[in-house]
Chain A
Amino acid sequence: MPEPIHLDETRLNEYVDGVLDDAAQAEVAAHVASCATCTARVAELRALFGDLAALPDEPLAVDLAPAVLARLPRRARAPAWAPRLALAAQALAAVVAFVLLWPWLAATLQASGAARLVAEAAAILSAMLAGLAPLWRAPVDAAESLLRAASTCALPALPGPVLGWSLGLAGFALAWLLGNGVLLRNLARDQERGE
């Protein structure tokens, strides 16, 4: 009985690679099942695949890490504490800047009559709340009484150094939050995770 026409090399390789569609895969499988020559070629290919898959990785006798690390660009070897140092330096700079600026800031606040401005703003808010009174009687009463009390108050006459340091501390906290917290907090957290 004559053998059927054999499959070409491309078809056989695609079959063994499993890249044919289902119909073509089935067609080739049917031919291979009926053709001793193609069966042998498929077996040879599969044996080669097995040999390649079983080829072990050659063991490495040396640790490459020291040599690789020594060749990394200097930028990569920034010390881990650098972001923390940057945080501290920026916070310190914010404090120093605020203390140095405080005399000017205090004089500006005095000249602008900050206490009078607070009282006027409270009076306006109080009047607005009074207009909404029918809707929110109970809570508005409470708020109105608070604002009325605020409208008659003045800034406490704290001793100069206490007021200065208090405002300085508040300014420092604000400067730190805006200047450092947003930008460097994530960086510090990522570094914690990388340890």
Chain B
Amino acid sequence: MRDQTDGDLVLAVRQGRAEAYGELVRRYQGTVFGVCYRLAGERREAEDLAQEAFLRAYQRLGTFDARRPFGPWVRRVAANVCLNRLPSTPADAPLDDERDEDEAADAGGPEAAWENAERSATLRAALLSLPPQYRAVVELRHFHEMSYAEISAELGLPLSDVKSHLFRARRLLAQKLKTYA
């Protein structure tokens, strides 16, 4: 099954072969979890959200065009699931810093690796500190490469709001990165 294309697996799932969906989950769980972790900031919650995203994607599989790439589609579903769950206020809980420190240590402890991990942790924390709608537009623009118009349609926001959220979010992120630096 591992040599099947995503399109073949989608067709198999539509015929009721659940194990084919298991293979799709294994292929994309890493990137879907990445989306959820960026938006939720907490490992356990991100795992739950990733599961929810795959269940939502399964329910919507009938609307998916099997000739198109599955990865971007399921990541977008994950973003939607997360954005619907975002709290109305910025997250208070810090990211799992412990994990980033572990990664730095696993890399052998060179200073560059530690600095990269620190910078990633700082950026993740800065993203999480953004108001949810700002975080949403940054996620869709920078990690899903959507246009302003696509973001507007996805979030149901006027185009002018999409731009103002995005540009303010960038300014806030730049300021926070300067502060952390």
Question: Which residues of A come within 8 Å of B, CB atoms?
Answer: 9-10, 13-14, 17, 19, 44-45, 47-49, 51-53, 55-60, 62-69, 71-72, 75-78, 80, 82-83, 187, 190-191, 193-195
A48-B177, A194-B15 given; 9 more Cβ-contact pairs under 8 Å: A9-B171, A13-B167, A57-B33, A58-B34, A64-B47, A69-B18, A75-B16, A77-B16, A195-B17
What residues on B are CB-neighbors of A14 within 8 Å? 163
Inside 8 A of B173's CB, which chain A residues have their CB? Answer: 48
| Dominant secondary structure of chain A at its interface with chain B | helix
Interface residues as binary, B44-56 with A (CB distance below 8 Å gives 1, 0 otherwise): 0011001100110
Q: How far is the CA of A191 from the CA of B11 in the complex (A)?
A: 8
Q: Are A190 and B12 in contact (CB under 8 A)?
A: yes
17 CB < 8 A contacts A-B = A14-B163, A19-B147, A48-B170, A48-B173, A52-B123, A55-B124, A58-B99, A59-B30, A64-B25, A65-B29, A66-B22, A68-B51, A69-B19, A72-B55, A72-B58, A80-B17, A194-B4
Q: Point out the residues of chain B lying under 8 angstroms from A68, CB to CB.
A: 21-22, 25, 51, 54-55, 58
Assess whether A44 is in contact with B30, with CB atoms less than 8 Å apart. no
* Cα distance A62–B48 in the bound complex, in angstroms: 11
Interface flags, B155-181, vs A, CB<8A=1, else 0: 000000001001100110110010000
Interchain nearest-CB distance for A139 vs B (Å): 49
Contact between chains at B30 and A60 (CB < 8 Å): yes
Interface size class of B (residues with CB under 8 A): 35 or more
Is B16 a contact partner of A76 (Cβ separation < 8 A)? Answer: yes
* A194 in complex: contacting residue of B11, B22, B33, B124, CB < 8 Å: B11
**A64: nearest residue on chain B (CB-CB)?**
B29
Inter-chain contacts of A191 with B (CB < 8 A): 12, 15, 17
A7 CB to nearest B CB, Å: 12
Q: Which residues of B line the A interface, CB within 8 A?
A: 1, 4, 8-9, 11-23, 25-26, 29-31, 33-34, 37-38, 43, 46-47, 50-51, 54-55, 58, 99, 119-120, 123-124, 138, 141-143, 147-148, 163, 166-167, 170-171, 173-174, 177
Query: Chain B residue with minimal CB distance to A16?
Result: B170
Selected contact of A13 from candidates B19, B25, B30, B166, CB within 8 Å: B166
Question: Beyond A64-B33, A64-B50, is A194–B9 a contact (Cβ under 8 Å)?
Answer: yes
Contact A57 B31 (CB under 8 A): yes
Q: Which residues of A contact B25 (CB under 8 A)?
A: 64-65, 68-69
In contact, B120 and A56 (Cβ under 8 angstroms): yes
A76 to chain B, nearest CB (A): 5
Please give the distance in Å from A155's CB to the nearest CB on chain B: 46
